[in-house]
Amino acid sequence: MATPPQNNEGWVFVTASALVGFLGAKANQAITWWPLITSERNAASTCLGVLIAVTPRNEFMPLLHIAFDGEGDSTTYNPDSLKMGNFSLLVPSGVAEQVNQHATKVALEEAARQALIAIRRAQWEAERPAREAAETERLENIAKQTEANRIAQRLKVQARRNLLAPVQVLVDKYHLAENDLLSPEDSPTWVYQILEYILADDPFDQEELLRLRKSSYKYLAAAVHWRTWELASDPWNVVHSCSLLRQAKAPRKAVNLLNQIDISDWDRTVASAFFTTLGGAQRDAGALSEAWGSAKAALLKRDDKQHPYLLLGALCYQLDRYEEGDDFFAKARARGATEKDIEFTRREAESRRQNADANDID
């Protein structure tokens, strides 16, 4: 164990924090000196100790091994615990000079850092009015833009209402929506033009009627065909109108309209189509016995058409009369029905029968 010099000649006290900082800066260098230290653990007592070993650690501060009061045992400190213990160290003057130089350098760097922080804080405060003014202007611009957008939207809505006003009475009547009548750019669509034709009592040509039948606007198409029937008395428009009503899920309306028609002077072909359409609407409405009678009436007009036989086959399947239904499907096949037509009709009828059974159980 080292012995402290009697007069401390050539030795200088340094603070623990200064030495810790120095050791941190020299963490990757081997420490070869063995200074004496005094430990000031509290105000009431002091004790002498000797730094008997320093263990370097790569990337970390070294470990310090210290013996106190001439005892053989030693205590190991890392620099943080040394600092926490409020130690003062007596070190050779050369080492003290290095420690103090490092401490001065650290102090100057900290002072420069604090000065830079003070400058930046002062700049921040000096720029506060301009910053706040810019933020106020930004918020005001947002508010103005929001108000301008609100006004523009209100004007757009009003413009749409003005465009729809002439045909508004027909919108609900024909189960339409605003987007059906106006494009995203608020230009009138072809459906809007159809409504204008209706209001003006303008006739529709066959191309327009065909386009309507193929469109998704089945209720509107049904109304246009019925109106065309009233204007031109073409009986096929009656058939088309009520067929479209079936597709629009309005079979009872189709039945009511068809029951008002006198077909006594109609051609046998269109009369057969009339009864087939009536039977289909009655079947959709759940009136199976009436549908059977209409299908038979269609056959009386023309028995060489496939559609009455398809209807009778479907009714048989709904009534669990499968063999009879297959006979009717065979007759429909002989009259031009495809296997796809028959299979679709068979599956659809079976689905209706199953749904009816499920409703009975409920």
194 in the same domain as 54: no
The Cα 327–Cα 348 span in angstroms is 17
290 vs 77, more confident: 290
CATH number of the domain enclosing 214 = 1.25.40.10
Supply angle C-alpha 14, 20, 21, rounded to 5.
100
> Would strands 11-15 and 47-57 be described as parallel, antiparallel, or unpaired?
unpaired
The Cα 181–Cα 222 span in angstroms is 18
Q: Quick one: pLDDT at residue 185?
A: 86
Q: What percent of the chain has pLDDT over 70?
A: 76
Q: Which of 65, 86, 104 is the last residue of a domain?
A: 104
- Taking only the tens place, the pLDDT of each residue in 145-182 is 999 999 999 998 898 889 889 898 898 888 899 889 99
Q: Which of 86, 104, 122 is the last residue of a domain?
A: 104
67 in the same domain as 212: no
| pLDDT > 90? residue 87 | no
Per the structure, the count of domains in the chain is 2
Long-range contacts of 170-175 (CB under 8 A, 24+ apart): 170/195, 170/198, 170/199, 171/195, 173/223, 174/217, 174/219, 174/220, 174/223, 175/219, 175/220, 175/248
85 in the same domain as 212: no
| pLDDT > 80? residue 200 | yes
- Taking only the tens place, the pLDDT of each residue in 210-221 is 999 999 999 999
241 in the same domain as 348: yes
Structural domain harbouring 90: 11-104
Q: Check if the beta carbon of residue 130 is closer than 8 Å to that of residue 148.
A: no
The Cα 91–Cα 5 span in angstroms is 11
- Taking only the tens place, the pLDDT of each residue in 311-349 is 999 999 999 999 999 999 999 999 999 999 999 999 999
Supply 52's token pair: 């008997």
110-134: burial string, b at 16+ Cβ within 10 Å, e else: eeeeeeeeeeeeeeeeeeeeeeeee
353 in the same domain as 234: yes
Q: Which residues lie across from 39 on neighbouring strands?
A: 47
15 vs 265, more confident: 265
Taking the whole predicted model, whether its pTM rises above 0.75 is answered as: no
Q: Which of 66, 89, 104 is the last residue of a domain?
A: 104
Instruction: Tell me the residue length of the chain.
Output: 362
Q: How many CB atoms lie within 10 A of CB 23?
A: 21
- DSSP per-residue letters across 315-333: HHHHTT-HHHHHHHHHHHH
208 in the same domain as 84: no
